[in-house]
Structure 1
Amino acid sequence: MSNTRDVPFETTIHVRDACLCLHAQRAARTLSRLFDEAFQPLGLTSGQFSLLNALNRPQPPAIGPVAQLLAMDRTTLTAALKPLERDGLVAVTVDPDDRRSRLLHLTDRGRKVLARAVPVWRELHAAIEERLSDLEPDNLRGALNSLARSRPPREGA
């Protein structure tokens, strides 16, 4: 076994300190944990809150637009819908205009749970934004949205 390093430790430190992906993942995990704890009394996770909120539209959306909004593939979204459907918060129906497509509906129970969750979200979200006041949260949102919409070219592509 060789004692030489293929990647110098200095590179490890540089990646740790500079990697946008690592920093975004750490922040996302921290935010998810905070919101999971806040929504726990309502029986929701932060991801379920985001999904219920994404379904809160004048007309029931199809799976595709919701998956795109949440940056999920359709299979992952379908799996995320199962517990919400089981708990009576969401109903999935066949689109009468396209029998191959499914429409996602918030049930009355789902709307009530979402209505109880929104004040919890508002309070925690305001507290988090207050901690970010030096950063200007609108600029952070803009940068994150820009990253979410773009796909940098891969080398050799």
Structure 2
Amino acid sequence: MAINIDLDSRLLINKSCFGLNIQRAARVVARKFDDAFKPLGVNHWQFSLLMTLQVPDGMSVGELARSLVVDRTTITANVKPLERASLLTVRVDDEDARAKRIELTEKGRELLKRAFPIWQKVNAEVQNIVGATAGEDLLGGLASITNA
């Protein structure tokens, strides 16, 4: 039995599809952050990766991948330009010579100090668009999806 996909179906997807609408909103929000971070020479994804590494002794590639919900190859590819920019270092793990640890450098920490107030400003702008209570609900819902 063939299913007829009509204009109403398209409008339904356009209005109620979580995947499509989360993706659209993510692009708009990421663009706001990317534009704000541009003077620092990083984008929002790079800022998020660096901020995630703001822990004692850094993280393994696997730990960082799990934390950012991406695969290890994505981490490896995205770490290389940040390493070339001296914002982080990659070294052999002290406890497992097969594993690599990624750590912020002093230059990376200094960049985060400059980037954090920019993040606060843009994040507040996005929250103002959504509304404080709706923003908290949205973040809670997104966390539920991420942790499902």
- 2:103 equivalent to 1:92: no
Structure 2 stretches lacking a partner, 5+ long? none
- SS of 1:99 mapped into structure 2: coil
Identity %: 38
Report the structure number with the largest CA radius of gyration: 1
Tell me which of 55, 58, 67 is aligned to 2:56. 58
Instruction: Quote the residue 2:22 is aligned against.
Output: 24
Distance 2:105 2:42 in 1: 15
Mapped to 2, the partners of 1:86 and 1:6 lie a distance apart of: 53
Which moves more between the two structures, 85-94 or 121-130? Answer: 121-130
- Determine the structure 1 residue equivalent to 2:34: 36
Deviation sequence 1:14-67 (CA, Å, 0-9, x none): 111110111100010001100000000000100000000000002211111111
Aligned to 2:59, the other structure's residue is in SS state: coil
Report the Cα distance in structure 2 between the residues aligned to 1:134 and 1:38, rounded to whole angstroms: 22
If each structure's helix is expressed as a fraction of its own residues, which one has the higher value?
Answer: 2
Which one-letter code corresponds to 2:145 in the other structure? L
CA RMSD, Structure 1 to Structure 2 (Å): 1.4
Deviates more, 1:9-18 or 1:79-88: 9-18
For 1:107 and 1:35, locate their aligned partners in 2 and report how far apart those are by CA, in whole Å.
23
Look up the equivalent residue of 1:38 and give its one-letter code.
A
Whole-Å separation in 1 of the counterparts to 2:132 and 2:11: 26
Q: How many residues align?
A: 146
Shift of 1:134: 5.8
Amino acid at match of 1:125: N
Secondary structure of the 1:136 match is helix
Listed one character per residue, the Cα deviations across residues 97-124 of structure 1 (whole Å, up to 9, x for unaligned) are 0011110110111111111100100111
Instruction: Show the counterpart of 1:67.
Output: 65
- Unpaired runs of 5+ residues, structure 1, are 151-157
1:47 corresponds, among 45, 48, 71, to 45
TM-score (norm: length of structure 2): 0.93
1:6 is displaced (CA, Å) by 5.0
Normalized against structure 1, the TM-score is what? 0.88
Partner Cα separation in structure 2 for residue 113 and residue 70 of structure 1: 20
Task: Quote the offset at 1:136 in angstroms.
Answer: 2.7
Residues 85 and 26 (structure 1), Cα distance of their counterparts in 2 relative to 1, 3 Å cut? same
Partners of 2:105 and 2:23 lie apart in 1 by 32
Deviation of residue 7 (structure 1)? Answer: 2.2
Match for residue 123 of structure 2? 125
